[in-house]
Amino acid sequence: MSAKPLSLLGRPPSIAALLHRARGPVRTGLLVAVPLVGAAGAILCAGLAWRDVSANRAIAALEAGTDRPVSVDAPPELLLARIRFLVARERFEAAEPLLAALDRTGSADLRGRAQISLANARLRQAFAKLEAGELDPAAPLVGLARQAYRRALTLRPEAWDAKFNLDVASRLVRDFPERGREHGEEMPADPKKIWTDIPGQPRGLP
């Protein structure tokens, strides 16, 4: 008569059942180990809860305009909040390591949002240069904004604001009055001409 095969679908034995079956030193070891495992689990849960609370407080502070230091191993949501805080103040170099960290650990949605924030900040810089008549430094800023918008749209194709602002940036490049320059001659800047054919009210964007 063949042996009955063991079922792999049965319910695993409970801790109480294991303690009942165990004898001698094994039972003593289980009695000691079970409370230790439970205590370790409780400590781990408490640590995770504290980290979440701390991260949420830091995110709220950053969104309110109060700076908070953030390490590269912070939760992705906190990385995004700090990136937004930095790029809004044109502190792009400080944001670079956080952007790299978010690229490693963040979801496509969070990474896309970070790129949109970066692109918006670059485009605001370009607008300021154009309005001041500084055409030469404005051109590379528009290029950087376009690159960031394209990266954002690969991660968040549904981001309509990014599509609109990319179109604005592309029209700015098209309308740069480079054709009016000849042999290095300086051309008087007329910011009003830069805004020609741009839909909506670009002064309010991004």
* Burial zone of 85 (CB within 10 Å; 0-12 exposed, 13-18 middle, 19+ buried): buried
Please state the rounded mean pLDDT for residues 88-95. 96
Share of the chain above pLDDT 90, in %: 50
Supply the pLDDT for residue 51.
59
Please state the rounded mean pLDDT for residues 98-111. 96
- Name the more confident of 183 and 10: 10
Q: Which residue has the tokens 């480079």?
A: 178
pLDDT-derived band of residue 105, with 50, 70 and 90 as boundaries?
Answer: very high
Is pLDDT of 107 > 50? Answer: yes
Instruction: Give the whole-angstrom CA distance, residue 130 versus residue 180.
Output: 16
pLDDT-derived band of residue 35, with 50, 70 and 90 as boundaries?
Answer: low
Supply the pLDDT for residue 125.
94
Is pLDDT of 180 > 50? Answer: no
Share of the chain above pLDDT 70, in %: 60
pLDDT-derived band of residue 133, with 50, 70 and 90 as boundaries?
Answer: confident
Supply the pLDDT for residue 46.
46
Where is 120: in which H helix or E strand? Answer: helix 108-131
**Model pTM score:** 0.64
The full length of the chain comes to 206
For residue 146, which of 175, 176, 177, 115 has the smallest C-alpha distance? 115
Supply the pLDDT for residue 47.
46
